[in-house]
Chains A and B, each alone.
Chain A
Amino acid sequence: MRFIAIAIAIALALPAHAELVIEITRGVENPIKIAVVPFQVKSSGAFDADLARLIESNLERSGQFRRVGRETMLSLPGPDDEVFYRDWRAIDSEYTVVGSIARDDDDGFLVRYALHDVYGERILFAERVPGDSSSLRDIGHYISDRIYESLTGLKGIFSTRLLYVTAERRSEKDQTFKLILSDADGGRPRTIFQSSEPILSPAWSPDGSRVAYMSYRAKRPGIYIQTLATGEVKRVTSFPGLNSAPSFSPDGRKLVLTLSKDGNPELYVANLRTGELTRMTKHFAIDTEASWSPDGRSILFTSSRGGKPQLYMMNVASKTIKRVTFDGDYNSNGAFTPDGESIVFVHRTAKRFHIAQMNLITRQISILTETDLDESPSVAPNGTMVIYATSNNEKSLLGLVSMDGRVRVRLPSVSESVREPTWSPYFN
């Protein structure tokens, strides 16, 4: 029992330090105002998982919600208490969440919560969620998803994960690179691979069970696939020259990647079951940064075949290639939105690098970010937000921007240089 208590204390203490700070630079005009009352603790012993804080931060980060400060609350009801709606109207809360956490006999917990519609004066829904000490954050994300879905009609992304690379630099040749897996809010970061040599281009398998990345072993680059549950690592390629920029096919059976073994950086498709390699491009220019379309029929990639880096689309079956971007002298590192209708990419304008979005049907480009050196855009699985890497003075950090560019959130890192964020797919 004492052992468990210590374990809980550690689990609860960790996210507080590790969590990335939220800073909303812009928001939607009329965000939904929501009050998340601190959850009542219905068991003995010191225990302080601030699920309410986690939920309100999650909702606020979407840009579609604004939290009602807990210091303004006139009462702090739990799920068994009556909710006086006029108290909540008085502080301009449209929705109010109440909840409790109770420890049961073993290591288990029971979380109860209810979502109240203040102006409709009714409970929208109430739930009981069982879990154990290691799953409290998961429960917080689950509740956030439920509330978000109920009030916006969109699927929530709070239970998804992020993968990113950090670098700690002591000198040019003395650096520590880490591949980190975290919650979607940056909480619970955990190093899944570490090296004194660079780690690049992390990519999720479509079912979220494996990640592909490039790393150098014995000073030579290779593409590796790591199974998250077991930590098992398999080498896909390690040819002389480049082995970079992997992207899974939507069925998870193939990987498109860049190899320069035949002289130039070219795209190849590796069949992960048979090991067979199929060359997809043949051009003396740079071809790289391939990204598979959600329907599996096309591959978007960066090529310098026109003299400057631009985005091109390849039909996988016929290998025919069409240029996609014409606006600007540097467009690269494209990724599809989950509906396959748009792409996000790095776009240089007035010598600054921004994240841009293009509708593939209308060909309309909109620039989503205002900072400089923005790169590595990755779209959330519900298509509402893009996570990307940006710079602030000497530091690299992560930013979030909504697909319409209206909501921007910065996620400053604690100390290290953060790059190449990749949003996971849904796990269910």
Chain B
Amino acid sequence: MKFLKQAKVAGTIVILAVLAGCAGQVNEEVKAPAVEPVVSKETASSASTNEVDSSAELAAKAKAAADAAADAAADAERATAEKIKSKAMAADTLFFFEFDRSDLKQDALNDLDAHAKYLTADRSAKVRLEGHADERGTRAYNLALGERRANSVTRYLVIQGVNRSQIESVSYGEERPLSLVRDDSGWLRNRRVELIYQ
């Protein structure tokens, strides 16, 4: 029974990893064209205007050109980083679950990927994951359930390359409901993990 369950968990991880991989490739393609043109234009202009300079000057120029190129690259990198960051900031920070379940829903993955991308790009970024449950069921059990939900999100982010040390998680069980509506529509909103940048 135990092995079966572990095998099931492992299976889920593989599927999630594959899904995440696909999402990652799409993002790479978007990024590439933005970087290349900027760098090549800068180097081309500096090389063409100074043909008769001495070797020392040439070396200096070359260095300047390299610096400029590096600056440009850094600018581009910053632009890319900004893009990754803004994408993460625009992504959803609430991830919902079924009753008494802690497995991630498919519709959470795109947004989690955006967060993972930012967190792997900027290792100084940190998140706090707060796990929650709806009011049905008992409080201490729900506290454990909230932790399991936060752990599901943690595990997913770590598989995407986020460092464990960038994630802090805590469970609030059913103590901090988003909605006070006492039916399925309210409970649905309360069974969640909240991702909060620190």
Contacts and interface: CB of A to CB of B under 8 A. Distances in A.
Interface string B158-182: 0000000000001111011110101
B191 interface: no
17 contacts: A167-B175, A175-B176, A198-B175, A241-B147, A258-B144, A260-B147, A265-B147, A284-B5, A286-B145, A332-B138, A333-B140, A333-B141, A346-B138, A373-B182, A375-B139, A376-B139, A394-B180
A333 B147 contact: no
Interface of A: 167, 169, 172-173, 175, 177, 198, 200-201, 216, 219-221, 241-242, 244-245, 258, 260, 265, 283-284, 286, 288-289, 302, 304, 308-309, 330, 332-333, 346, 348, 353, 373, 375-376, 391, 394, 419-420
Contacts of B2: 283-284
B83 to A, nearest CB: 30
A173 B85 CA distance: 26
Given A198-B175, A244-B143, A373-B135, 16 more contacts: A175-B176, A198-B172, A198-B176, A220-B170, A221-B171, A242-B143, A242-B171, A245-B140, A260-B147, A265-B147, A288-B144, A308-B100, A333-B138, A353-B136, A375-B137, A394-B182
Interface residues of B, number: 26
A201 B139 CA distance: 8
A394 B148 CA distance: 28
Contact of B141 (A167, A289, A391, A420): A289
Contacts of A332: 137-138, 141
Contacts of A245: 140, 143
Nearest to A177: B175
B25 interface: no
Nearest to B132: A172
B6 interface: yes
A175 B175 CA distance: 10
Interface hub of A288, A304, A391, A394 (most chain B Cβ within 10 A): A288
A18 B148 CA distance: 39
Contacts of B5: 284
Contacts of B171: 221, 242
B177 A172 contact: yes
B147 A288 contact: no
Contacts of A219: 170
A198 B146 CA distance: 14
Interface of B: 2, 5-6, 100, 135-141, 143-145, 147-148, 170-173, 175-178, 180, 182
Nearest to B178: A172
A260 B171 CA distance: 11
Nearest to A285: B5
Given A242-B147, A284-B5, A258 B138 contact: no
Given A172-B178, A265-B147, A391-B182, A244 B140 contact: yes
A151 to B, nearest CB: 36
A148 B145 CA distance: 43
A221 B170 contact: yes
Contact of B136 (A167, A241, A373): A373
Contacts of A304: 100, 141
B138 A289 contact: yes
Contacts of B141: 286, 288-289, 302, 304, 309, 332-333
B7 to A, nearest CB: 12
The 8 A-B pairs with the shortest beta carbon distances in the complex, nearest first, are A198-B175, A333-B138, A245-B140, A265-B144, A286-B144, A332-B138, A289-B140, A288-B144
Contact of A376 (B138, B177, B182): B138
A216 B171 CA distance: 10
Contacts of B170: 216, 219-221
A96 B180 CA distance: 48
A98 B122 CA distance: 79
A284 B6 contact: yes
B138 A302 contact: yes
A113 B100 CA distance: 56
Contacts of B140: 200-201, 244-245, 258, 288-289, 302, 333
A260 B131 CA distance: 14
Contacts of A286: 141, 144-145, 148
Contacts of A348: 137
B135 to A, nearest CB: 6
A260 B138 contact: no
A348 B137 CA distance: 8
Contacts of B6: 284
B144 A375 contact: no
A221 B175 CA distance: 13
A420 B137 CA distance: 13
